Amino acid sequence: MAVVEVRNLHKHFGAGKVHAIDGIDLSTEEGEYLVLLGPSGCGKTTLLRTIAGLEEPTEGDVLIAGQVVTGLPPRARKIAMVFQSYALYPHKSVLANIVFPLRASGMERGPRDERARWAAGLLDIEHLMDRKPRELSGGERQRVALARALVREPTVFLLDEPLSNLDAKLRTSARDELKRFQEEIGTTTIYVTHDQTEAMGLGDRIAVMSDGKIRQIGPPVEVYDDPADTFVATFIGSPPMNLVTRGSTFVGFRPEHLLPVEIVSGERVTMTLDVQRMEYLSGDRHVYGEVTIGDAPSRVIARLPATVTTPIAAGEKHDFAVPAAKLRFFDVETGLRSEPVRLGS
């Protein structure tokens, strides 16, 4: 049974002018880590808030554990949510923050303190119990917010960009911790982010959203290797997938598959790269240039790993190739995946 399911969900703002959610069907599996990924304004946070009950959908239904909860207030949904700001109660101590949901549910003092200690132990914040939120670092605040979400044993965790307030270094370790934490608890989690690294690293499945719609949903490998359309292809991957026009088709390939021709063996498509610029980034060489497969030249990026030592310089022309199996084809009109096209070489 799906833990969370939304059916034909629509949410309009401003008298129907803005379609923040424009017809979404989605269901999570038990214990799954589902990431909603998309650029800002794509409706991912609105979708999460609608699941939480903080927004009323204009149309459609939200189901939690098989029950329609569309009209119910947040407190009746047995969910836990961590906001981007962590939304700790600033006037309460860490302990009081953590036990707040338990007090709201009417639990006795004894068992409630025990559960708070259990959650604090899990997140390694027992020594902070008497502090006020303002005396905590960003990482500690995040843990308190997680502990508060955890104590109630919710059916689902809803996390809204919980890492975006941390500095870059902390974010990596916090991401790792979040993942281990969820594996330990095993609670279904829906996680909203605009950061593809977070999405790829955390998600069992990723739902890529844009303009209030889900463009593709699948495991990270699938979303990366087999993007459903040009939006997903260019949104995911850094640098993004190269799209080269050839008639009414975009030929797409990832920068790491565009390599000097002598490296690529087997069935391959060769092209001449007019090298314009080079960047040297964490061991990789990023080569910017133009290739022509069809009629007009297209800008592409090649990412050469440190193991490829072929000398390349700006201003030169160089023969590159892509393994045939790594080519993806998209319709220029719709942006959707299309049938493979036989390329001339």
Partner 1 sequence: MAAGLTRQRRKLADNDGVLAWAFLAPSVVYILALVGLPFILAIAFSFSDVTGGDPTFDWVGFANFSAIFDDPVFWASLRNTFVFTVISMVLIVIFGKILANILIADFRGKWVVRFLVLLPWTTPVALSSIAWLWLLDSVFSPIDYVLRALGLIENNVYWLGQPGLAIGSVIAVHVWRLVPLAAVIMLAGMLAIPKDVQEQAAVDGAGFWRRMFEVTIPLTAPVIAIAALFGAIFTFTDMTVVQVLTRGGPNNETQVLTSWAYFRGIEGSDIGQGAAIALFLFPLLLAAAIAILRAVRRMEVS
The least CB distance from residue 105 to partner 1, in Å, is: 5
Give the N- to C-terminal CA distance of the chain in Å, as an integer. Answer: 50
Q: Which residues contact 257 (CB under 8 A, 6 or more apart)?
A: 322, 323, 326
**Closest to partner 1 by CB, 14 or 73:** 73
**Closest to partner 1 by CB, 55 or 211:** 55
**Closest to partner 1 by CB, 85 or 310:** 85
Other Cβ atoms less than 10 A from the Cβ of 247: the count is: 11
The least CB distance from residue 256 to partner 1, in Å, is: 40
Measured in residues, the chain has a length of 345
Write out the H or E segment, with its range, that includes residue 169.
helix 168-185
**Closest to partner 1 by CB, 137 or 270:** 137
* DSSP 8-state code for residue 241: P
Is residue 139 within 8 A of residue 177, CB to CB? The reply is no
The least CB distance from residue 157 to partner 1, in Å, is: 11
Q: Is 16 among the residues that bind partner 1 (CB under 8 A)?
A: no
**Closest to partner 1 by CB, 156 or 241:** 156
Q: Is 83 among the residues that bind partner 1 (CB under 8 A)?
A: yes
The least CB distance from residue 134 to partner 1, in Å, is: 7
Q: Which of 14, 16, 66, 73 binds partner 1 (CB under 8 A)?
A: 73
Q: Is 90 among the residues that bind partner 1 (CB under 8 A)?
A: yes
Quick note: the x/- pattern for partner 1 over 248-287, rule CB under 8 A, is ----------------------------------------
Between CA 335 and CA 253 the distance in angstroms is 15
In 172-267, the DSSP E strands lie at 188-193, 205-210, 213-218, 242-246, 249-253, 259-260
**Closest to partner 1 by CB, 89 or 270:** 89
Residues between 138 and 197 with contacts to partner 1, criterion CB under 8 A: 148, 152
Residues between 100 and 129 with contacts to partner 1, criterion CB under 8 A: 100-101, 104-105
Taking CB under 8 A as the binding criterion, the range among 16-24, 32-40, 82-90, 166-174 that sits at the site for partner 1 is 82-90
The least CB distance from residue 10 to partner 1, in Å, is: 21
* DSSP 8-state code for residue 107: -
Taking CB under 8 A as the binding criterion, the range among 35-43, 77-85, 188-196, 245-253 that sits at the site for partner 1 is 77-85
Q: Which of 9, 34, 80, 236 binds partner 1 (CB under 8 A)?
A: 80
What are the Cα distances from residue 155, in Å, to 55, 62, 121, 188, 301? 19, 14, 21, 7, 44
Q: Which of 39, 67, 68, 89 binds partner 1 (CB under 8 A)?
A: 89
Quick note: the x/- pattern for partner 1 over 27-56, rule CB under 8 A, is -------------------------xxx--
Q: Return the closest-CA partner of residue 76 out of 62, 89, 96, 59.
A: 62
The least CB distance from residue 83 to partner 1, in Å, is: 5
Q: Which two tokens stand for residue 254?
A: 């990832």
Q: Which two tokens stand for residue 170?
A: 């902390």
**Closest to partner 1 by CB, 51 or 233:** 51
Q: Which residues pair with 318 in a beta bridge?
A: 273
Q: Return the closest-CA partner of residue 255 out of 240, 276, 273.
A: 240
Edge to edge, what strands does the sheet with 67-68 contain? 18-27, 4-13, 59-64, 67-68
Q: Return the closest-CA partner of residue 70 out of 83, 82, 85, 60.
A: 60
The least CB distance from residue 22 to partner 1, in Å, is: 23
- Site residues for partner 1 per CB under 8 A: 52-54, 73-75, 79-81, 83-85, 87-91, 100-101, 104-105, 134, 148, 152
